A and B are shown apart, each in its own frame.
Chain A
Amino acid sequence: MKILVLLSQVPDTTARIAFTDGNTKFDANGVTFIVNPYDEWYALVRALELKEAAGVGSVTTITVGGADTEATIRKGLAIGADEAVRVDAQPTEALQVAEQVAAYSKDKGFDLILAGKETIDHNGAQVGGMVAELLDLPYIPLASKLDISGTTATVERDVPGGVEVLEVALPMVLSAAKGMAEQRIPNMRGIMAARTKPLTVVPAAATDNVANTALFELPPPKGAVKMIPAEDAGKLIELLHTEAKVI
């Protein structure tokens, strides 16, 4: 079982969101970066579990990003990935990232390519599906469970009103959502081992340029909260109906 996991770097979930250069760039000043939670907690951990269960195989991570992503990439190695690849390109938008990943992986024979459900900064939920199309592989987004038997994957996903169980022929691409695995905290041994595991930097491939984020905007500040005394709690329902007109 040869598995590729797409790891992206995102601002910490508590980071202050601000912009510079006339609201055209994210202000990274003082921001801590982490592995995108879906990539780390679900995609990577499930990949490791599948490899451990099979007793053979490898888990490779791939990140499209500058040298500043290497600390984040090491976290994936500390959790247990065997090797890491960094494609030396600044991510600009989804298709560009997907083309980089596809260019690297097209002749490597991965049985399984796992992405996260979405990045928590860009919130696209796009890259996995684009990689699948570029490699002509099946793709299931938002999977909450993944099992492999031989060359068939059984995948579960939440859909409106229930859970869908799908069977898919390998190789395939999927995006991982909550439920697929439990977060793993790297231990000291993992952190030490990560220092010597291979992190290969590959040059960027040529990509298409189809979109760019022109401007960011922060939402207008909330108005003051209207407090209702606990004794009069029922008044809330009345105000939601007559004043806010939302129920």
Chain B
Amino acid sequence: MSTIVFIDTRGNKIPKAAQEAVTYASKLAGAPVTAITFGGGSGLESLGANGASKVIVARGVTALDSQQLTKLVTDIASKESANTIVFVHDGTGKAVAPRVAAKLKAGAVAGAIALPEGNRFKRNVFSGKAQAYLEVTSPVKVISIMANSIPISTDGGAATVEEYSGDPGPSRVTLKELRKAGEGIPLPEAEIVVSAGRGMKGPENWAPVEELAKELGAATACSRPVADMHWRPHHEHVGQTGVAIRPNCYIAIGISGAIQHLAGVNQSKVIAVINKDPEAPFFKAADYGIVGDAFEIMPKLIEAAKKLNAER
């Protein structure tokens, strides 16, 4: 019986989430594991450092065809007699992990946030307002992990890289276009997030938000009405109906802290809130707070961030 891990390594560098998943799988197995990936990514041997002994890559599969990728994963799972298959709980993992689980009649843990205790996996439920322990009773287990759930280990050696020799089957999905939305740090991966709400009054006032984010190496986010009014792009919307994030540090500016907003950010390690209303509900969920006008406070924060950067 063995553990294998499926990761998305398309793009020019190995994502942090992939390194976390390989680390998680090898910790679970107590030994180096086989990693499965697809597309044209390079530098795959470096996954050895995170705990992969071997990387099997299906270069011919480039689009997110969940049927082909399911065939790929279950082929290798059967070859390696895998009883545990680890995924990342991101857009790619969500396409493949449920299929693999249904095919193998495996109990599937969506968004594990820690290594298990026996067969019990801890995960967030009720949009982060509670946690649950899911007990998996099937012989095969499918586990998708949340970003930032495990520190990456880097003490392994190099992995061997092999081309997948099987047939992933016909494709019913074609990638027509990939529209780039600018550089920036992808929100779900960001360790620091600077977020702003309706208190910013209008899209023309976002320059200080972006500047503070840049100084801190942070991603930018926003509340739902801000995205709905098209002040900011939809992919920045965090909360119950937007993206759920769990950065180390979440700085919220001019956001009231409605329960649906908190649902997407309450897993942040540290929350700092800036709001002119001392009664804003967000302060109850915050670690640090400043009561005041964002337009007066932002320049002070930017200046302090610049000073910090100059010192380190």
Interface residues of A (CB under 8 A from B): 11, 13-14, 17, 19, 37-38, 41, 93-95, 98, 120-134, 136, 138-142, 144, 154, 157-169, 172, 175, 178-179, 208-219, 222-223, 225-230, 233-241, 244, 246-247
Contact call A123/B127, Cβ cutoff below 8 A: yes
Q: Are B241's CB and A38's CB within 8 A? A: yes
Q: What is the 8 Å Cβ interface bit string for chain B, positions 120-137, against chain A (1 contact, 0 not)? A: 100111110111111111
Chain B residues whose C-beta falls within 8 Å of the C-beta of A19 in the assembled complex? 130
Interface residues of B (CB under 8 A from A): 11, 15, 63-67, 70, 89, 91, 94-103, 105-111, 120, 123-127, 129-138, 172-184, 186, 188-189, 191-192, 216, 227, 234-235, 237, 240-242, 244, 248-249, 259-260, 263, 266, 269-270, 272-274, 283-293, 296-297, 300-301, 303-305, 307-308
How far apart are A233's CB and chain B's nearest CB, in angstroms?
Answer: 4
Name the distance in Å between A148's Cβ and chain B's nearest Cβ. 15
Chain A nearest CB: distance from B263 CB in Å?
A: 7
On chain B, the residues within 8 Å of A126 by CB distance are: 94, 97-98, 101, 108, 110
**Set of chain B residues within 8 Å of A218, measured between Cβ atoms:** 129-131
The answer to whether B180 touches A162 (Cβ under 8 A) is yes
**Is the Cβ of B289 less than 8 Å from the Cβ of A240?**
no
Question: What residues on B are CB-neighbors of A217 within 8 Å?
Answer: 130-133
A246 and B249 contacting across the interface, CB-CB below 8 Å: yes
CB–CB A120/B240 < 8 A: yes
Q: A158-B235, A165-B179, A166-B173 are in contact. Are A17 and B129 (CB under 8 A)?
A: yes
Counting chain B CB atoms within 10 Å of each CB, the highest count among A14, A130, A216, A247 belongs to A247
Contact sample, A vs B, 22 pairs, CB 8 Å cutoff: A120-B263, A123-B244, A126-B97, A126-B101, A129-B66, A131-B102, A138-B66, A139-B67, A139-B95, A144-B234, A161-B180, A210-B136, A212-B137, A217-B133, A218-B129, A222-B284, A222-B286, A230-B297, A233-B274, A233-B292, A236-B290, A244-B270
Q: Complex Cα distance A101/B302, Å? A: 53
B102 surroundings in chain A (CB, below 8 A): 95, 98, 129-131, 133-134
Knowing A13-B240, A130-B101, A133-B103, the reply to whether A209 touches B137 (Cβ < 8 A) is yes
Other-chain contact of B137, A94, A210, A240, A247 (Cβ < 8 Å) = A210
Q: How far is the CB of A218 from chain B (nearest CB, A)?
A: 5
Given contacts A210-B138, A225-B288, A240-B270, contact A165 B95 (CB under 8 A): no
Q: A124 vs B134: C-alpha distance in the bound complex, in angstroms?
A: 12
Contacts A166-B174, A219-B266 known; 4 new A-B pairs at CB < 8 A? A138-B172, A211-B109, A214-B133, A233-B292
Given contacts A161-B181, A225-B286, A246-B192, contact A133 B292 (CB under 8 A): no
Q: Which residues of A contact B234 (CB under 8 A)?
A: 144, 158, 178-179
Quick one: which of B11, B96, B107, B123 has the most chain A CB within 10 A?
B107
Residues of B within 8 A of A227 (CB): 288-291
Please give, as numbers and ranges, the residues of chain B lying within 8 Å of A159 by CB-CB distance.
Answer: 91, 178
Given A94-B98, A237-B301, the answer on whether A169 and B120 have CB atoms closer than 8 Å is no
Given that A134-B102, A164-B64, A234-B300 are contacting pairs, would A211 and B70 also be in contact in the complex, using a CB cutoff of 8 Å? no
Give bound CA distance, A62 to B14, whole Å.
40
Is B94 a contact partner of A125 (Cβ separation < 8 A)?
Answer: yes
Complex Cα spacing A144 to B70, Å: 23
Known contacts A94-B110, A129-B66: does B173 contact A140 (CB below 8 Å)?
yes
